A and B are shown apart, each in its own frame.
Chain A
Amino acid sequence: MRRRLHRPTTLVAAATAGVLLLGACGAGGRDDDGGGGDGGDGGGGATAPGVTEDSIKIGAHFPLTGVAAPGYNEIPTGAKAYFDYVNAQGGVHGRQIEYVVRDDGYNPTNTSSVTNELVLEEEIFAMVGGLGTPTHSAVVDFLNDEGVPDFFVSSGSLQWGDDPEAYPYTFGWQPDYEIEGKIIGQYVAENMPDAKVGLFLQDDDFGDDAEKGVRQFLDDQVVAAERYTSGNTDVGPQIAGLQAAGADLVLSFNTPSYTALSQLVALRLGYEPQWFYTNVGSDADLVGSLLSRFSEGAVEGGSSSLDGVMTTEYIPGVDQPDDPWVQLWQKVWDEHGEKGKLTNYRVYGMSHAYAFVQALQAAGEDLTRDGIVEAMEEVGADLEGPQLAPFRYSSDSHLGISGMRVVEIQDGAGEDLTPVLITDIGDAEIVEDDSGQDGDAPPENGVPEAP
């Protein structure tokens, strides 16, 4: 390595100038837009950024590459298929939806930069379905400062809706981890009061919020709580810890791949507790296909490999092909999807795309950023859709779906153990849902009306 620093500053200056000019040229191509994407003031009927007579541009950040990409990268393909489906039906109020997805590799630094690009350069009207807690944390302030509607964050963290004053433009979508923890906790406390409960938690807000919810009901019954770090695929030591503590019921708050991994490790350890996976981790179809490979009958083939496992359910998935919603998704996927089959990740993407289309309908023809937020606060709780329980949207809460039911997986599909239960964060009681969301069906053409 015989290099030397040779007259550095002169060259630095030259390079700096060159690079900066490059940047300047890039920027110079744009029209003077008078202050960027400040659509937040929503001045009297003026067209919002990203909205024209016949189009609406929206964006999202997802991990499309890297370690977090497997699985999650399917969500935007589902959403895109549904938006294409809606566009084929004429769009919303005559506007075609243009859906721009950017890769952040699950790295908050990248999320920040692609969100800047989406908001400032692409001038999207709204962010729809941005995925991940740490990633979205990096941009939630920016989106709210800029007044960009930040809908349906793909993460169950509480911060996407428990404080609408701090983040007036941000809305959650899926049931937050805390209420899932509460519903699971109460179910176990009532039905399995003697169980020695072990917790298997992902070491982030997912595990933390869920643990908080579970412990409201089960604090005495918990004998061990083990945490795994996402990305470290060796969960042997954690499962061995649960086994050593004598847990006979394991509540697992983890992603699907870790469901498969924990099942494999349990086999290795000869550990056979009752498993209770969170909704996130219980994609029976996916886990089953993952587990189906293991030979010598050590694991039963197909999606039945999770039989007997308990979980929760808040939207119908591909294990219920007769559900009218799933039939709609299948049709959408067949007509507009990429190659590959319909998966629960794609169903998830379509479900929140459906909710967004409905939000657009509710916001009316004069689409503004503040307008759609107001509309969501007013009528958001009445949104139709595949979700089994209604959204909690109001001016006091931007949290998403309010509840779920507990099911046991049999033959790869869930069998109901409870009716749909709803609740809210904190001390809110858990009650049966009477909204009738469960059991509804999509409209004939598959495109929602304003609620």
Chain B
Amino acid sequence: MQQLLNTALGGLTLGMVYAAFALALVLIWRSTRVVNFAQAPMAMVTTFVALVIVDAGHSYWLAFAAALASGLVLGAVIERVVVRPVEGGPEINAVILTLGLFIVLHALAAVIFGNRYRSFPAPFGVRGIEVGGTTIALTGFGIFTILAVLVTMGLLLLLFQRTDIGLRMRASAFNPEVARLLGVRVGRMLTLGWALASVVGSLAGLLIAGGSLVHPGYMDSVVVYGFVAAVLGGLDSPFGAVVGGLLLGLALSFVSGYVGSQLVALAALVILMLVLVLRPGGLFAQTAARRV
């Protein structure tokens, strides 16, 4: 019973991170029709920025803010400088480009920050909370993780649904030409979209790193499962990304605990194929799904 609960809680926390990461991928996909494989190393780089600040003796929260801010800048710069030329071009070119970025960022991080394990601090306890004499696998930081992702989602929802800038961003994503005709500076919106997505990705990176170990490759499995989660939910649906992330986090945790950790990836494949065979556009594909 306790194992069941703990496995579920572990899966929930991990699922939240996958959800955040998938959300970042969906934001970028929606705005620029690019699957950003470089999302993981981008987040990794910002996590290292935070680590440098912590190492310099500053507080966790300053480092946290700096990582998010550097995520914002990194996302904007990458979109503007590297990704802009391939937007609207053949899909595969964008894929290869972000894969290339993936490799470059990885290699750069190894050169600059060193290729070794380092511990990353957590602002809250990493000890499980006691409920009625038994400890459950939910730490202060775990709660923070869940809350942070929920709050981020709420903020994004507000931004997109309730503000003019959100409306502009959505319009740019859905129909850039019409958006231009209506006076929306589409280029800026796309850059902003990447910047925001990169912030969300950075958040996922910080949450995975918190109270654990980081090295240049620490996000690599997240890119796979985050992408699978996004596809699972339907790449156009932020809601789907979140559901996909949670579903995947829980399912994989149970497979790892009760079947075997070798089969985690296989389980991800099976779940994905089951969903895609029934719904080729993901769980939350819009009925008016656009043919790309």
Contact residues of A with B, CB < 8 Å?
1, 64-67, 69-71, 73-74, 203, 227-229, 231-234, 236-238, 240-241, 243-244, 256-257, 260-261, 264, 267-271, 286, 289-296, 298-299
What are the residues of chain B within 8 A of A299 when measuring CB–CB? 126
Q: Any chain A CB within 8 A of the CB of B66?
A: no
Interface residue ranges of B245-262 to A (CB < 8 Å): 253-254, 256-258, 260-262
In whole angstroms, how far apart are the Cα atoms of A264 and B120 in the complex? 12
* Contact flag A270-B119 (CB < 8 Å), given A65-B107, A240-B6, A241-B3: no
Residue of A1, A203, A238, A293 with most partner-chain B CB within 10 A = A293
Looking at the assembled complex, report how far the CB atom of A269 sits from the nearest CB atom of chain B, in whole angstroms.
5
4 extra A-B contacts, CB within 8 A, seeds A65-B107, A295-B122? A1-B91, A243-B6, A261-B213, A298-B126
Could you say which of A64, A238, A267, A292 contacts B261, with CB atoms under 8 Å apart? A238
* A236 lies within 8 A of B217 (CB): no
* A260 lies within 8 A of B256 (CB): no
In whole angstroms, how far apart are the Cα atoms of A268 and B212 in the complex? 12
* A294 lies within 8 A of B217 (CB): no
Q: Any chain A CB within 8 A of the CB of B287?
A: no
A-B contact pairs, 5 of them (CB 8 A): A73-B115, A240-B10, A268-B137, A290-B117, A293-B119
Closest to B220 in A: A67
Could you say which of B6, B107, B119 contacts A291, with CB atoms under 8 Å apart? B119
* Contact flag A294-B260 (CB < 8 Å), given A233-B212, A261-B212, A270-B134: no
* A294 lies within 8 A of B92 (CB): no
* B115 lies within 8 A of A290 (CB): no
Looking at the assembled complex, report how far the CB atom of B133 sits from the nearest CB atom of chain A, in whole angstroms.
10
What are the residues of chain B within 8 A of A231 when measuring CB–CB? 221
Interface size class of B (residues with CB under 8 A): 35 or more
* A269 lies within 8 A of B257 (CB): no
In whole angstroms, how far apart are the Cα atoms of A187 and B118 in the complex? 33
3 A-B pairs with least C-beta separation: A270-B135, A237-B257, A244-B3
Q: Any chain A CB within 8 A of the CB of B290?
A: no
* B134 lies within 8 A of A232 (CB): no
Closest to B130 in A: A270
* B119 lies within 8 A of A260 (CB): yes
* Contact flag A227-B260 (CB < 8 Å), given A71-B117, A298-B125: yes
Contact residues of B with A, CB < 8 Å?
2-3, 6-7, 10, 14, 60, 90-92, 107, 110, 115-128, 130, 134-140, 142, 211-213, 215, 217-218, 220-221, 253-254, 256-258, 260-262, 264
What are the residues of chain A within 8 A of B215 when measuring CB–CB? 67, 70
Looking at the assembled complex, report how far the CB atom of B87 sits from the nearest CB atom of chain A, in whole angstroms.
15
In whole angstroms, how far apart are the Cα atoms of A286 and B117 in the complex? 9
What are the residues of chain B within 8 A of A233 when measuring CB–CB? 212-213, 218, 221
Looking at the assembled complex, report how far the CB atom of B96 sits from the nearest CB atom of chain A, in whole angstroms.
12
In whole angstroms, how far apart are the Cα atoms of A290 and B212 in the complex? 9
What are the residues of chain B within 8 A of A257 when measuring CB–CB? 117, 213
* A66 lies within 8 A of B126 (CB): no
* A270 lies within 8 A of B116 (CB): no
In whole angstroms, how far apart are the Cα atoms of A270 and B133 in the complex? 10
* Contact flag A244-B2 (CB < 8 Å), given A65-B115, A203-B261: yes
Looking at the assembled complex, report how far the CB atom of A284 sits from the nearest CB atom of chain B, in whole angstroms.
14
* Contact flag A296-B128 (CB < 8 Å), given A233-B212, A234-B253, A290-B119: no
Closest to A270 in B: B135
* B137 lies within 8 A of A236 (CB): yes
* Contact flag A289-B262 (CB < 8 Å), given A234-B10, A234-B253: no
In whole angstroms, how far apart are the Cα atoms of A286 and B220 in the complex? 23
What are the residues of chain A within 8 A of B261 when measuring CB–CB? 203, 227-229, 232, 237-238
* A290 lies within 8 A of B213 (CB): yes
* A243 lies within 8 A of B121 (CB): no
What are the residues of chain A within 8 A of B262 when measuring CB–CB? 203, 227, 229
What are the residues of chain B within 8 A of A229 when measuring CB–CB? 261-262, 264
